[in-house]
Amino acid sequence: MDMTWFDEMEKRIPVGKVRTRFAPSPTGYMHVGNLRTALYTWLIARHDEGTFILRIEDTDQSRQVEGATEIIYKTLTECGLTWDEGPDLGGPVGPYIQTQRRDLYRKYADLLVEKGAAYYCFCEKTESAEDTGDFTKREDDPCRSLSYAEALARVQAGEPHVVRQRIPHEGQTTFHDVIFGDITVDNDTLDDQVLLKRDGLPTYNFANVVDDHLMGITHVVRGSEYLSSAPKYNLLYEAFGWPIPNYVHCSPVMRDAQNKMSKRHGDPSYEDLLAQGYIAPAILNYVALLGWSPKGENSEREFFTLSELSGVFELSGVSKSPAIFDIEKLKYFNAHYLRELDAETFFALAQPYLKQAVKNPAIDLRLIAPLVQPRCDTLCDIAEQVDFFDALPQYSNELYCHKKMKTDEQNSLEALKAVLPVLEGIGDWTYDNLHDALVGLAEKLELKNGRIMWPVRTALSGKAVTPGGAVELCHILGKAETLSRIQTGIEQLS
């Protein structure tokens, strides 16, 4: 076989720096484990000032979901995992979508057959492209023993076939993983996997080896479920005479000690977590710690920006043990991030949730946002806290009774009757004027502030717990609505 084309492909491969790739299949949502793979892959590249590549592995056409590629782009962009080369950006080793690289896989499969490391298989069992076959022994496969000339003639005659990897009958294969160390397997436990399907498209196991080499990938990050396939990848690299990249197999993210996370079992995807009111920086920070821990002076630290993570991330901190996804722990992270946001950023995030509960255009949502920011763990906590601004709910007079404030129904009624003319007399309805008026009334009546504030807050909200106290609620509701609700409270207590 003329090697000129292959030599030209070798010349294109970038060398001299770390190059990693995130290579998802466009099959729908981005699950947490997939997001973690993307994050670790990105961090390896950024930590060493390398190149991060996005590659779309779409050779399994039957599993593709419309719009899934856009979900991948959107998720990575929202999380700040910017890529340096990819389908939309191009690069020196494109194209970056596997179906657009279809022709080159055939060439490498044929080269592998010529080298004796693969063979053409014409058996009916290859109808199922991923099937390893019904033969109990490799030597039972009649195609394995065909001469190269005979098999090539059948291929050139147009006979349907697949290309299978020729695994050695005897011996062992050892591969090295950055996390798990050296692993040795007996070759007789490996199957002659399909490399090229009848339709000419490669299987995942072949395409990712060819693409990783041609794109100069130095670190291959994937789930530990692919550990069993790694010996076959090694044999492919060795057959081609290619250097083997650093394997980084990450243990799974689990729902509990026995079960992996699964969309089928209702476990949330990244999109689901956003819909549940979690924000991307919190999700990313938490996901980073699912199976990785920082070293040294940062060993006890929990909160990291993406930039900080890229500075401290080291593969030595990745654990062999599965990580358990704890939604309560994520909620803790999310609450921290929400509280740390500046006012404008928080309002932009909170506004849709505020509008969901408060539809009255007279209510200034910007006044409500600072009240709920320190009081919500997720954005979905907002609506139930503020719905009373839109309409006063029905409530029991028991809410007026507060042991600490020393209020009961009778003295609450007296307080509201005293408050009503004071509020009616305020011309400029500002926070400061409201504060001074209510505190001044308490002083005049020689009462503690709570004796006045608690009844007012209860009358305005009809709730036991509210974001903000009496003064804030008066200010936000406006004069007319405040007076109306105070009057309603008086009537209800009378």
Tens digit of each residue's pLDDT (9 = 90 or more) over 313-370: 999 999 999 999 999 999 999 999 999 999 999 999 999 999 999 999 999 999 999 9
pLDDT, tens only, 462-488:
999 999 999 999 999 999 999 999 999
pLDDT, tens only, 245-273:
999 999 999 998 888 887 677 778 999 99
- Take residue 162 and report the two structure tokens written for it: 């697949």
d(CA 198, CA 144): 17
Residues 6+ apart with CB under 8 A from 231: 173, 175, 183, 185, 187, 190
Q: Which helix (H) or strand (E) holds 233?
A: helix 230-240
pLDDT of residue 423: 98
pLDDT of residue 158: 96
Q: Residue 385: pLDDT above 60? A: yes
Contact 278, 330 (CB under 8 A): yes
Burial (CB < 10 A; 0-12, 13-18, 19+), residue 73, is middle
Give me the percent of the chain exceeding a pLDDT of 70: 96
Average pLDDT value over all residues in the chain: 94
Q: Among all residues, which ones are annotated catalytic?
A: 263
d(CA 187, CA 350): 57
pLDDT, tens only, 56-100:
998 877 777 788 899 999 999 999 999 999 999 999 999 999 999
- Residues 371-381, mean pLDDT to the nearest whole number: 97
pTM of the model: 0.92
Closest C-alpha among 271, 353, 328, 336 to residue 301? 336
pLDDT of residue 67: 86
pLDDT of residue 140: 65
d(CA 315, CA 218): 14
Q: Which helix (H) or strand (E) holds 154?
A: helix 148-156
pLDDT of residue 129: 44
Q: Which helix (H) or strand (E) holds 248?
A: strand 246-250
Q: Where are the beta strands (DSSP E) in 193-295?
A: 194-196, 219-223, 246-250, 253-254
pLDDT, tens only, 40-50:
999 999 999 99
Angle at 350 between CA 348 and CA 352, to 5 degrees: 90
Q: How far apart are the first and last CA of the chain?
A: 100
Q: Residue 28: pLDDT above 80? A: no
pLDDT, tens only, 85-140:
999 999 999 999 999 999 999 999 999 999 999 999 998 754 444 444 444 455 56
pLDDT, tens only, 297-327:
999 999 999 999 999 999 999 999 999 999 9
Closest C-alpha among 220, 204, 218, 269 to residue 57? 204
Question: Using the 8-state DSSP alphabet, how is residue 22 labeled?
Answer: E
- Tracing tokens 């479920």 back to the chain, one arrives at 225
pLDDT of residue 132: 44
